């Protein structure tokens, strides 16, 4: 899949974290996609990036070429720290709200999936708030299957939240 015209992809580095923080905090303030009400900090994002990179997981950004503005990012991390899950990863995706619905998320997720496949992962999980039906439809269109439903396990903004687990298995996977 080719990079959309006018954009470029690169691994997230520390200099990108203020822009990541803007996206994450917008999502925290305005959605139930991230189950916390306290906004993140630059130190929190630095810790996230260090943990992600130290674990060998990707954090990838999509940037507008004309402005070098980060418009969205994808990352993955451990689904569970137990040894039996070492070939399973949980993914995350976040975009500036004014860049959604343009097909950029599809491109960036497919890019992440290729990186994960090439890195030897067998299974990718997306944990989605039950109130976020747009994300559920998005992951279904991208080939994920809904394999789990945990009713009422989360709480934000005075409401109980369901958790949906969406899963993609790489059919051609063999342990490396």
Average of per-residue pLDDT values in the chain: 96
Task: Classify residue 174: in a domain, yes or no.
Answer: no
The pTM of this model reads 0.93
Q: How many domains does the chain have?
A: 1
What helix, strand, coil percent values describe the chain, rounded to 5?
A: 35, 35, 30
Task: Classify residue 2: in a domain, yes or no.
Answer: no
Task: Classify residue 28: in a domain, yes or no.
Answer: yes
Tell which residue, 113, 128, 127, has the closest CA to residue 170.
113
Per the structure, the complete domain to which residue 19 belongs is given by 7-169
- pLDDT for the residue numbered 176: 66
Task: Classify residue 1: in a domain, yes or no.
Answer: no
The least confident of 2-6, 22-26, 124-128, 168-172 is 168-172
CATH of residue 13's domain is 3.40.630.30
pLDDT digits (tens, 9 = 90+) for 12-61: 999 999 999 999 999 999 999 999 999 999 999 999 999 999 999 999 99
Task: Classify residue 110: in a domain, yes or no.
Answer: yes
């Amino acid at each position: 899949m080719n990079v959309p015209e006018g954009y470029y992809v690169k691994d997230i580095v520390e200099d990108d974290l203020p822009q990541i923080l803007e996206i994450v905090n917008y999502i925290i303030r305005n959605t139930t996609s991230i189950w916390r009400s306290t906004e993140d900090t630059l130190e929190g994002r630095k810790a996230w990036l260090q943990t992600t990179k130290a674990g060998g997981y990707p954090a990838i950004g999509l940037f507008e070429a004309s402005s070098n503005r980060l418009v969205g990012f994808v990352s993955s991390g451990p689904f569970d720290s137990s040894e039996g899950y070492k070939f399973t990863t949980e993914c995350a995706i976040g975009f500036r709200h004014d860049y959604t619905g343009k097909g950029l998320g599809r491109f960036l997720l497919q890019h992440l999936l290729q990186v994960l496949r090439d890195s030897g992962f067998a299974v990718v999980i997306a944990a989605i708030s039950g109130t976020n039906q747009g994300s559920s439809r998005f992951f279904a269109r991208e080939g994920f299957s809904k394999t789990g439903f945990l009713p009422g396990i989360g709480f934000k903004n005075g409401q109980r939240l369901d958790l949906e687990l969406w899963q993609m298995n790489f059919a051609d996977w063999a342990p490396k």
